[in-house]
Amino acid sequence: MKPDDKDATRGDDKDAPRPDARDAVKVSAKNGGPSENAAAPNGAVPEPAAEAPTVAPVAKEGPPPRRFLFISKFALIHDLAWQVAKEGNDVRYHIMMKSERDVGDGFVEKVDRWEDHKDWADVIVFDDCEFGSLVERLRKEGKAVVGGNQYTDRLEMDRDFGQEEMQAAGLSILPRWEFSSFDDALAFIRANPGRYVVKPSGRAQNEKVLSFVGQEEDGLDVTMMLEHYKKGWASKIKSFQLQKFAAGVEVAVGGFFNGSDFVLPVHINFEHKRMFNDDIGPQTGEMGTAGFWFAPSRLYNETLLKMKERLAENHYVGYVDINCIVNSRGIYPLEFTCRFGYPTINLQIEGVLSKWGDFLYAIARGEPFNLRTKRGFQICVVIAVPPFPFVDPDTFKKFSEDAVVLFRKPMTEGIHPGDIRLVEDDWRLAGSSGYALIVSGSGSTMDDARREAYNRVKNIIIPNMFYRTDIGERWSRDGDLLQTWGFLS
């Protein structure tokens, strides 16, 4: 499955007050940050988002085109690679998974063996975790690389280690228990009734259907689910975590790290993981994201900032995100994402004004960078086709393979290719997952961003396409609560 999954749980803190302020993000002047990113003070609505700049040819007097090699496991990063190419840089792209190698055809140059091009590249970009040992080897060879290392791979893939590192860094974590035996977990819940969240560890966490959020206060539904897993998934789930459920606002805090420090501003985002509106249906990884770029605030200071020294000690270069549950009592980090997020990176492309090629080149070389971003809010909506979110090659071939994406009128802004290839100016479905397009929009308020994105969605025709229509609606509640509790100041 393609989009990113943090398996976090959101709930409702019913006792929290709800002010009337909507779409107003407060920032104190002392927090600083580039002027494009700072929201208006005193609760005023941020200024309207600037239009994305038109891509222009590289200026003759500017720096020569840089050479980028993008490497992907599952064909995830070509939208960013395409953006870097449109800025005038030379781009080559390698996809490891054979069944996905037609994804991105026609957008950027593809290569069969990335190893043959590593000496050609000025910057090598890895799009996922579990490349750690390879990234470390390339850096020892003197290569400029954006990507994780063995430490950050473990932060994401080993949930227990990630929680231990958070706790050691001074973050407040929820009680959790690690198990390698279903019988032991069942015995624990019977002895300690309560509401829990089941989170597989390791590669099993990529199976979205295996994460389960308990609804019953005695844990009966969790025990029933574990009994089911024991019968059908024991070979895949080697270890898993039970985490105490916490009600509140689910919010992620992310930022790019250049090997020694975070590049500000930070990215505050809200995931929508389930298939249908109102968070109903199976886990998909993600059906859309809402977010905004923001100056350092309590959300950042009590999460990412506390991990700065550990990330610097391990020379991490790339995007890192901590998904949290926030309520009136505090911030409770759930897990790490130490890689690009999907579709988070598409949302970030919508909101960034700087050239991505310049930015990636700078952080790969450990240099500071003034990241310019739009004011206001952005959302992105995933448009999918069968068999998404499940893996079923026969269904994909029957309903979706090679289908043409039609646009009612010409459109270039806010349309991000997912599993798409370009054939004689036609966008056609490729790959095998049904993760077709990501559509984004910006605005001075969340409602404005929603309006722009969904107007763009209405311009698109794909047979059997589906998408959620409520991405960003939660902000009216979640934004009120985060401001009331003081986490955006």
Domain boundaries, the chain: 67-155+248-476, 176-244
In terms of pLDDT, which residue wins out, 378 or 231? 378
Q: How many CA atoms lie within 13 Å of 401's alpha carbon, on the beta-carbon side? A: 12
**pLDDT, tens digit (0-9, with 9 covering 90-100), for 46-85:** 333 333 334 344 444 567 899 999 999 999 999 999 999 9
Q: How far apart are CA 68 and CA 146, in angstroms?
A: 11
**pLDDT, tens digit (0-9, with 9 covering 90-100), for 276-333:** 999 999 889 899 999 999 999 999 999 999 999 999 999 999 999 999 999 999 999 9
Report the chain's terminal Cα–Cα distance, integer Å.
Answer: 36
Most confident of 9-18, 55-64, 346-355: 346-355
67-155+248-476: which CATH topology? D-amino Acid Aminotransferase; Chain A, domain 1 (3.30.470)
Strands (E), 18-139: 67-72, 90-95, 109-110, 123-126
Please return the burial class of 56, using the count of CB atoms within 10 Å of its CB with bins 0-12, 13-18 and 19+. Answer: exposed
Range 381-404 average pLDDT: 95
Residue 64 burial (CB count, 10 A): 10
pLDDT of 211: 78
Range 244-250 average pLDDT: 93
Range 109-132 average pLDDT: 97
Range 389-413 average pLDDT: 93
What 8-state DSSP symbol labels residue 373?
B
**pLDDT, tens digit (0-9, with 9 covering 90-100), for 78-97:** 999 999 999 999 999 999 99
Q: How far apart are CA 7 and CA 55, in angstroms?
A: 37
**Percent of the chain whose pLDDT exceeds 70:** 85
**pLDDT, tens digit (0-9, with 9 covering 90-100), for 197-207:** 998 876 645 55
Please return the burial class of 458, using the count of CB atoms within 10 Å of its CB with bins 0-12, 13-18 and 19+. Answer: exposed
pLDDT of 206: 52
Range 134-156 average pLDDT: 97
